Structure 1
Amino acid sequence: MARFTDKSIIVTGAGSGIGRAASLLFAAEGGRVLCADISDAAEETAAMITDAGGTARHIKIDAGKEEDVIRAVALACEAHGGLDVMFANAGISGGMANIFDTDVALITEVLRVNLIGPYLAIKHAAPKIAERGGGAIVLTASVAGIRSGAGSPAYSASKAGVINLAMVSAQQLAGSNVRVNAICPGLTETGMTKPTFDYARDAGKMDKVGRLNPLRRGAQPEELANVAAFLASDEASYVNGQAIAVDGGLSSSHPVTRQEYGKTAV
């Protein structure tokens, strides 16, 4: 398939995990990809694409800083003739502290990157996408944003905001032919979760990873990238304002060990 032939695409968080997998997939299907990341790893992703015969550039940005997002959009338009797709994927975990142990500075930073970042992506990408006659914006939320039991308070609140942002922006972009949707990953092997997966492998406990979802395993980045690519493509031309869970069925119940006030979960 070549769903993205000559399409101009920005991927944030492109240096690893879902962002890298999506960048490679978009490029393999003909897209011209701007790989954006706060780390230098975006350059490596872009090199992987060009080495395979695809078209890519890279840019180092902080996805939660408006001036950086403006720079990324401007570069994509300059280098690739406009903008058709924005995949606002960059995010941070913020640890696992509970409400009472979460520092205000930490939750502020998590919200800045995870929620303000997608907001800025929509604000600055949508007008350029509309100028091309329409296209798609895909946001990375999380099953932690759907209901409790899958993340810390800071992370969960930020991702719940992303889900609502997809809905609100889809409405406010009515008539533009710009669709906005979110993917909600469950436990996925990315740079953020690497310590968990590495520990499980070293300890011979990979059977414990993702055991609470019906598929009883974690996801690989490519599985999330496939859904992001679908939402970004014309195949999803009538899908708008939605949050799609890609979690092996976890969010059908979100089973958890509950933590009582003043006690540690066991």
Structure 2
Amino acid sequence: MADELQGRVALVTGGGRGIGAAISTELALSGASVVLTYRRDREAAEALADKLAGEGATALAVEAHVDDPASSERAVATAVEQFGGLDTVVSNAGVASRGNAVADTTVDELSWVLQVHAIGPHQLVRAALPHLRRADRSDVVFVSSIAAHTFHAYGAPYNMGKAAVEALAHTLAQEERRHGVHVNIVAPGLTDTDMGRRLVRATRSVEDIRELDEGSPFGRVCAPEDIARVVRFLVGPEGAYVNDQRIVVDGGTF
């Protein structure tokens, strides 16, 4: 196990599955103490925490709903109580929109997706900031999407949510630099996760996402670990002078 993040304490939302699980794993195996949150899949989150503990890492699975500010506050408090502080926040939890045209999208769907992707992360970071400001080095990474610049049809709620959270990130980076807080964005393209598999079934009539490997950059669809390694770079010593940046991880597709 590497130790470049030894002494760091990270909170990863949606950290039990998909991209979030890869990020939790990467940070924990690099030495950080990780609180990984989940909404529904307790079994997967706790299994990951146990697996990491078996590999000599430190991870704790905590139920928290990013759309509920009080829940986010409790997750932050848990990290501080269990590990003595909090210096890294990875805002990763997300949901897909339903693939409807703007004309067919209800206000309820729009409100829900914006709550998860933009308002919730705002409140999460707001709760974490007093602790991030106290740290010698602290980081916030927002996991966004290429949807924030491709704006494909039939995805307005998701596109809007990702664009909004990127606006939050750029604003926060300017406000918190004086407090030593680094803020950056990672924007994945199509990735081999449950959400990615559902997307290609719905939009490309592809049952197995691996069928897209041959036509993808470098001969494969992006893996969650590709995203996780970029996050680790940003919060690690190599990223000490990186701030207010947006890194696209899509193999150069868009």
TM-score clears 0.5: yes
How far apart are the structure 1 equivalents of 2:21 and 2:209? 26
Letter of the 1:28 partner, please give it.
Answer: L
Unaligned runs of 5+ in 2: none
Deviation string, structure 1 residues 161-192 (Cα, Å, up to 9, x no partner): 11111100011113100011110010001122
How far apart are the structure 2 equivalents of 1:83 and 1:150? 39
Q: 2:76 aligns with which of 62, 73, 90?
A: 73
1:70-149 aligned within 5 A: 70-149=73-152
Quickly say closer, same or farther: Cα 1:244–1:8, change in 2 above 3 A. Answer: same
Letter of the 1:206 partner, please give it.
Answer: R
Deviation string, structure 1 residues 184-229 (Cα, Å, up to 9, x no partner): 0100011222335689998577343684x64464211000000111
Q: Which residue pairs with 2:18 in the alignment?
A: 17
Quickly say closer, same or farther: Cα 1:197–1:66, change in 2 above 3 A. Answer: same
Deviation string, structure 1 residues 72-114 (Cα, Å, up to 9, x no partner): 1101001011011111100001121111111110011000001
How far apart are the structure 2 equivalents of 1:109 and 1:5? 37
For residue 133 of structure 1, report the CA deviation from its aligned partner: 2.2
How far apart are the structure 1 equivalents of 2:170 and 2:134? 21
- Of Structure 1 and Structure 2, which has the larger fraction of its residues in helix? 2
Over aligned residue pairs, what C-alpha RMSD do you find? Answer: 2.2
Quickly say closer, same or farther: Cα 1:61–1:210, change in 2 above 3 A. Answer: farther
Quickly say closer, same or farther: Cα 1:122–1:205, change in 2 above 3 A. Answer: closer
How far apart are the structure 2 equivalents of 1:17 and 1:90? 10
Identity percentage over the alignment? Answer: 33
TM-score norm. by structure 1 comes to 0.87
Letter of the 1:132 partner, please give it.
Answer: A
How far apart are the structure 1 equivalents of 2:53 and 2:128? 24
How far apart are the structure 2 equivalents of 1:76 and 1:85? 10
Quickly say closer, same or farther: Cα 1:93–1:16, change in 2 above 3 A. Answer: same
For residue 9 of structure 1, report the CA deviation from its aligned partner: 0.7
Unaligned runs of 5+ in 1: 252-266
TM-score norm. by structure 2 comes to 0.91
Q: 1:195 aligns with which of 195, 198, 211?
A: 198
Letter of the 1:52 partner, please give it.
Answer: E
For residue 2 of structure 1, report the CA deviation from its aligned partner: 2.2
For residue 58 of structure 1, report the CA deviation from its aligned partner: 1.3
Aligned length: 250
Q: Which residue pairs with 1:33 in the alignment?
A: 34
